[in-house]
Amino acid sequence: MARAPLPIRDGLGPTRVRMPDSSPFATVLEYLVDRFPHNAVRLREKVELREVVDAAGVPLSAESPLVPRKDIYLYRDPPIEPVVPFAIEILHRDDDLLVIDKPHFLATIPRGAYIARSALVLLRREFDLPELSPAHRLDRLTAGVLIFTVRPEVRRAYQELFAQRVVTKIYDAVARYDPDLELPRTVRSRMVKERDARRAEEVPGEPNAETYMELAANNRTHGMYTLYPKTGRTHQLRLHMSSLGVPILGDNFYPELYDVAGDDYSAPLQLVARSVSFVDPFTERKRLFESTRRLHLPG
């Protein structure tokens, strides 16, 4: 994807909007107002303030013609968002990496109802690091070790460690204890998640998700499970635990989906990314980052 012609502003990058193949509208502004009618007034203001630009960074006017399949860029206005009442703990910071202990309920990147209140935007603002980028991601409901790259020059090297599956990730999870469940074991399945779907699904076919699981402790009612994901599919650990009949405590997606109020923090998902380790692509030394968060068996 081409680099955006507008810089990061207040921790947020610009939004890209691609013009349609064909349109009854003669100008870009007419198309935008029709597509986003609730933001019509602000869109006109943004054009007047020269904040809507083309791919070359040239500001558009109210008369700028609509060119099919051309990209335009503008800054979106962040919505009013819930404030996640948990602090971000910094585990490590150097010229290349910023590593945090992400709390439950905090989104990794801007998405949906969490834009300015995502970890990425909060950290960009707090440390004045406009080029900060996640090397990998954690679900909003999952806590633990999360790594960001500080400089664009090193971003690809660290992201490729995760893409090439040479990073060791260890998770802790609390779920129901089943004495008949044979552990340790490796769970393999084919997982798919449609773009607009809230949940992932296991379907027939060649496996694309793999998790090694151990039982670390139990009190005869609940168990503490240690999970070693080899792949990083969306909701992989949650779905694999649920498929074994021991869904993670606090999971409102698996096995059944139910809604939880956005400001209800009373039952966090009992899943923590305990540690992340890898051989640094620049120093060739092993690096290990560990969460300070600990889960406990109920009762």
Which positions are catalytic?
Answer: 139
What is the length of the chain? 299
Task: Give CA–CA dist 289/180, Å, rounded.
Answer: 34
User: Could you say which DSSP state residue 26 is in?
Assistant: S
β-strand 15-18 against 286-290: which pairing, if any? unpaired
Report the C-alpha gap between 274 and 213 in whole angstroms: 14
Distances (CA, A) of 44 to 47, 51, 62, 102, 222: 5, 10, 8, 38, 57
Question: Number of C-alpha atoms within 13 angstroms, CB side, residue 295?
Answer: 31
Q: Are 43 and 32 a contacting pair, CB within 8 Å?
A: yes
Which single residue is written with the structure tokens 């198309």?
Answer: 31
Instruction: Name beta bridge partners: 90.
Output: 100
CA distances from 229 to 106, 194, 272 (A): 21, 21, 13
Q: Quote the CA–CA distance of 146 and 123 in Å, as a whole number.
A: 12
